[in-house]
Amino acid sequence: MSEHGFHVHGPHDHALEHAQQGHDGGSVNSIAMFTAIIATVGALMSYMGGATQSNAGLYKNNAAIKKTEASNQWNFYQAKSTKQNLSEIAAELAPAGKKDGYLADVARYKTEKVEIKAGAEKLEEESKSWDHQSDEQMHLHHRWAQATTALQVAIAMAAIALMAQRKWLERAMYAMASVGLVLGAMALAHL
């Protein structure tokens, strides 16, 4: 330093001074850029996790509605079976002139029951389909949540790596982000 407070040093001196202070501008910049990119990707994954969770709830609700409709059809089927049984008993006990009417009722109830049963079974299948779709969406939700969590941990590790200035923390940060990205890719591929 000169007497007048003016100091000149070369690029090598500047690099040594920063190295002694522990500042590596390239590393800091790359970690900052990494953090921004991973935070953006994490936000998208978080959105997908929320969307799949909402879908799972909606599909589960649809499954419950179809199950209730199927139950109603089975109750209707039971009512027709009871009426059929009563008509069969009435046909056995009725005088000859009234038996034909009761036997016609029995035939009609049998025909109606076939249609009701088919409708109830169709509704049960629809309910199972909605349940299956809900389960798939919950699986995807968990995969998106795992990916988002891994990226959040990577961002936290980035902050720690910047403060502690440890290369092994920086490598761990990149590894954790890779885990998050792989999990996100698995969710995107529906695995």
pLDDT value of position 91:
93
Contacts of 27 (CB under 8 A, 6+ apart): 170
What is the rounded CA–CA span in Å between residue 118 and residue 45?
Answer: 42
pLDDT value of position 20:
47
Structure tokens at 51: 């969307």
What is the rounded CA–CA span in Å between residue 126 and residue 34?
Answer: 46
Q: Residue 61 — pLDDT band, cuts 50, 70, 90? A: very high
pLDDT value of position 27:
81
Give the HSE-up count for residue 123: Cα atoms under 13 Å, Cβ half-sphere: 18
pLDDT at 46 over 70: yes
pLDDT at 28 over 90: no
What is the rounded CA–CA span in Å between residue 162 and residue 177?
Answer: 16
pTM score of the predicted model: 0.73
Structure tokens at 128: 């199972």
Tokens 């998050």 belong to 180
Q: Residue 84 — pLDDT band, cuts 50, 70, 90? A: very high
pLDDT value of position 26:
72
